[in-house]
């Protein structure tokens, strides 16, 4: 832990060295023959009222972390402190209370709504199980649906009658009707088309102000994170490798993996793409167009056999001897708001003393 972490006052959401592995078993007796290491020591501190972005490629453990935060699965070790109390000690009978403070919006609006229930039932259920009378729950549901920009007549419809954007609005209404303080949004727009994405993001921003929400926004879209979030963390193979102000992600990202993620965004401007000057004829090949970029090659390492040291070193263009030997710590670079876990001097200064 860095100095700045140690002296902080109790914070809103404190993820402390959370690890998660799944046993890999084989044979009739389910002998454990291996381990799938999904989260390898994630520490994060999220402040009240911010939108915190979590970025990383598929399979890096973003969704597993989200599931741990809503207690859908327990961490293998480490704990999460939410509003001063550890999640691990929440009793079963206090679950309802906990889920009144933490809610989640899922990635796929096509599978996150029960196809057998009407929209009114899906959203109203949340109020009903918290003891609201039938009339109250209908009124609250109606107000909430209007709040997420849906017409009143969707109450009686079923999910298959709605568009993707409308469904995601219903999912947001379901999460927010309990007035949570923390909303975990697991890629809430990645299943939607672009114009709908913008509207849903606008809605989330709007509701965040109105309801005084804190949002953990999980995404693999750096543009969206840069525009929508206050701070962002980059995750690679179950480790946080960099935390910085989201607005400066394009200029100030230092970790080679963050840079690689930024470089992998396709350039939409043909003029920029062809700046290596191709003589007429057929369009330049894909490889040619991308030759200026530093794309990472190869597959992400398998979580079944974690690389030694820095988990990114097998694919890192800047790797040095120390990278394979020891895991770098998240340390502040420049100012306190920017921390990077990397040994390479190009990413700020030499990490630690080892």
Instruction: Select 69 or 262, whichever has its Cβ closest to another protein.
Output: 69
Q: Does 98 bind another protein (CB under 8 A)?
A: yes
The DSSP call for residue 91 is -
CB of 152 to another protein, least distance (A): 23
Give the separation between CA 125 and CA 99, rounded to whole angstroms. 13
DSSP code per residue over 5-57:
HHHPPP-SEEEEEEEEEEEEEETTTTEEEEEEEEEEEEEEEE-TT-EEEEE--
Q: Which of 82, 99, 217, 312 binds another protein (CB under 8 A)?
A: 99
Give the separation between CA 157 and CA 147, rounded to whole angstroms. 17
CB of 131 to another protein, least distance (A): 11
Q: Which of residues 58-77 bind another protein (CB under 8 A)?
A: 67, 70-72
x-or-dash string of contact with another protein, 170-209, rule CB under 8 A:
-x--x---x-------------------------------
Give the separation between CA 170 and CA 158, rounded to whole angstroms. 11
Give the separation between CA 309 and CA 301, rounded to whole angstroms. 13
Q: Does 113 bind another protein (CB under 8 A)?
A: yes
In sequence order, what are the beta bridge partners of 13? 46, 82
Residues with Cβ within 8 Å of 40's Cβ and at least 6 positions away in sequence, in order, are 19, 237, 238, 239, 306, 311
Q: Which of residues 154-173 bind another protein (CB under 8 A)?
A: 171
Give the separation between CA 333 and CA 344, rounded to whole angstroms. 12
Give the separation between CA 331 and CA 313, rounded to whole angstroms. 18
Q: Which of residues 237-266 bind another protein (CB under 8 A)?
A: none
Instruction: Select 207 or 342, whichever has its Cβ closest to another protein.
Output: 207
Stretch of residues binding another protein (CB under 8 A), selected from 95-103, 137-145, 244-252, 296-304: 95-103
Instruction: Select 155 or 310, whichever has its Cβ closest to another protein.
Output: 155
CB of 175 to another protein, least distance (A): 8
Q: Which of residues 291-310 bind another protein (CB under 8 A)?
A: none
Q: Which of 12, 52, 82, 106 binds another protein (CB under 8 A)?
A: 106
CB of 114 to another protein, least distance (A): 4
What strands lie across the sheet with 214-219, from one edge to the other? 102-105, 182-186, 214-219, 51-55, 231-236, 239-245, 335-340, 331-333
Question: What's the start-to-end Cα distance of the chain, in Å?
Answer: 16
Give the separation between CA 14 and CA 52, rounded to whole angstroms. 13
Instruction: Select 22 or 98, whichever has its Cβ closest to another protein.
Output: 98
CB of 70 to another protein, least distance (A): 5
Q: Does 12 bind another protein (CB under 8 A)?
A: no
CB of 13 to another protein, least distance (A): 16
Closest alpha carbon to 56 in 240, 231, 267, 295: 240
Q: Which of 129, 143, 304, 325 binds another protein (CB under 8 A)?
A: 129
CB of 278 to another protein, least distance (A): 46
Q: Does 112 bind another protein (CB under 8 A)?
A: yes
The DSSP call for residue 213 is -
Stretch of residues binding another protein (CB under 8 A), selected from 99-107, 272-280, 315-323, 338-346: 99-107
Burial of 344 (0-12, 13-18, 19+ CB in 10 A): buried
Instruction: Select 82 or 343, whichever has its Cβ closest to another protein.
Output: 82
CA distances from 24 to 44, 254, 313 (A): 28, 35, 25
Residues of this chain that bind another protein (CB under 8 A): 67, 70-72, 95-100, 102-104, 106-108, 111-117, 125-126, 129-130, 171, 174, 178
């Amino acid at each position: 832990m860095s100095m700045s972490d140690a002296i902080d006052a109790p914070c809103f959401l404190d993820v402390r060295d959370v690890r998660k592995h799944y046993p890999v078993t084989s044979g009739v007796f389910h002998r454990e023959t291996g381990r799938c290491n999904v989260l390898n020591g994630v520490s994060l501190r999220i402040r009240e009222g911010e939108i915190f972005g979590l970025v990383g490629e598929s399979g890096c453990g973003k969704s597993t972390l989200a599931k741990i935060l809503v207690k859908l699965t327990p961490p293998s070790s480490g704990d999460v402190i939410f509003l001063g109390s550890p999640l691990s000690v929440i009793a079963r009978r206090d679950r309802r209370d906990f889920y009144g403070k933490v809610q989640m919006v899922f990635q796929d609006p096509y599978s996150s709504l029960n196809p057998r229930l009407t929209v009114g039932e899906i959203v109203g259920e949340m109020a009903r199980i918290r003891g609201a009378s039938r009339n109250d729950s209908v009124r609250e549901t109606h107000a909430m649906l209007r709040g997420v920009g849906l017409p009143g007549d969707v109450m009686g419809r079923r999910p298959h009658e709605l568009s993707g954007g409308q469904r995601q609005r219903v999912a947001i209404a379901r999460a927010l009707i309990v007035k949570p303080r923390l909303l975990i949004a697991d890629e809430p727009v990645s299943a939607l088309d672009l114009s709908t994405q913008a509207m849903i993001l606008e809605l989330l921003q709007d509701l965040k102000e109105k309801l005084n929400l804190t949002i953990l926004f999980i995404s693999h879209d750096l543009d969206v994170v840069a525009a929508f979030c206050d701070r962002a963390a980059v995750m690679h193979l179950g480790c946080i490798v960099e935390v910085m102000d989201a607005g400066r992600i394009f200029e100030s990202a230092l970790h080679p993996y963050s840079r690689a993620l930024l470089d992998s965004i396709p350039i939409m401007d043909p003029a920029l793409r062809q700046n290596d000057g191709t003589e007429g004829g057929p369009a330049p090949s894909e490889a040619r167009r991308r030759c200026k970029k530093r794309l990472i090659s190869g597959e992400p390492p398998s979580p079944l056999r974690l690389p030694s040291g820095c988990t990114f070193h097998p694919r890192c263009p800047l790797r040095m001897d120390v990278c394979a030997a020891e895991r770098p710590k998240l340390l502040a670079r420049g100012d306190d708001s920017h921390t990077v876990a990397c040994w390479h001097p190009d990413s700020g200064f030499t990490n630690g003393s080892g």
